[in-house]
Amino acid sequence: MNTLVYLIPIALVLGGLGLVAFLWALKSGQYEDLEGASWRVLDEDDGRPQT
């Protein structure tokens, strides 16, 4: 029972982190072009983001 006091908040915080990470990724447009992203990985460019 005592361990639950730590474990449950840890579980919730970890889950919450995942949720926040997803919302952030969504907001910064990383889901706009999933198909393109899988190809850009193979691109031989210098890897600097285009400005």
Partner 1 sequence: MSCCATAVGATLVAEAAGQGLPPSEELWLASRALGNGLRQTDLSVPGVHCGACITTLETALRARPEVELARVNLSSRRVSIIWQEEVAGKRSDPRELVRAIGERGYEAHLFTPGEEEGDVLLTQLIRAVAVSGFAAANIMLLSVSVWSGANAATRDLFHWISAMIAGPALIYAGRFFYQSAWNALRHGRTNMDVPIALAVTLSYGMSLYETIGHGEHAWFDASVTLLFFLLIGRTLDHMMRGRARSAISGLARLSPRGATILNSDGSREYRATSEIEAGERLMIAAGERIPVDGRVVSGTSDLDRAVVNGESAPVSVGAGDTVEAGTLNLTGPLVLEATASARNSFLAEIMALMEAAEGGRARYRRIADRAARYYSPVVHLLALLTFIGWMIIEGDVRHAMLIAVAVLIITCPCALGLAVPVVQVVAAGRLFQGGVMVKDGSAIERIAEIDAVLLDKTGTLTVGRPQLVNAAEIAPDALAMAAALAVHSRHPIATAIQDAAARVSPLEAEIREIPGAGIEAKTSGGVYRLGSRNFATGEPGSGSGQSEAVLSLDRRELACFRFEDRLRPATARAIDQIGEMGLTVGILSGDRKSVVQALAKQLEITNWKGELSPRDKVQICADASDSGRRALMVGDGINDAPALRAAHVSMAPATAADVGRQAADFVFMHQPLIAVPFAIETSRRAGRLIRQNFALAIAYNLIAVPIAILGYATPLVAAIAMSTSSLIVVANALRLAGTDSANAFGGREPSPVPQPSGGER
The binding site for partner 1 (CB under 8 A) comprises 1, 4, 8, 11-12, 15-16, 18-19, 22-23, 26, 32-36, 39-40, 42-43, 50-51
Q: What is the DSSP string of 15-43?
A: HHHHHHHHHHHHHTTTTS-HHHHHHHTT-
Nearer to partner 1, 26 or 47 (CB): 26
Sign of CA dihedral 21, 23, 26, 31: positive
Could you tell me the smallest distance in angstroms from the CB atom of residue 42 to partner 1?
6
Could you tell me the smallest distance in angstroms from the CB atom of residue 37 to partner 1?
8
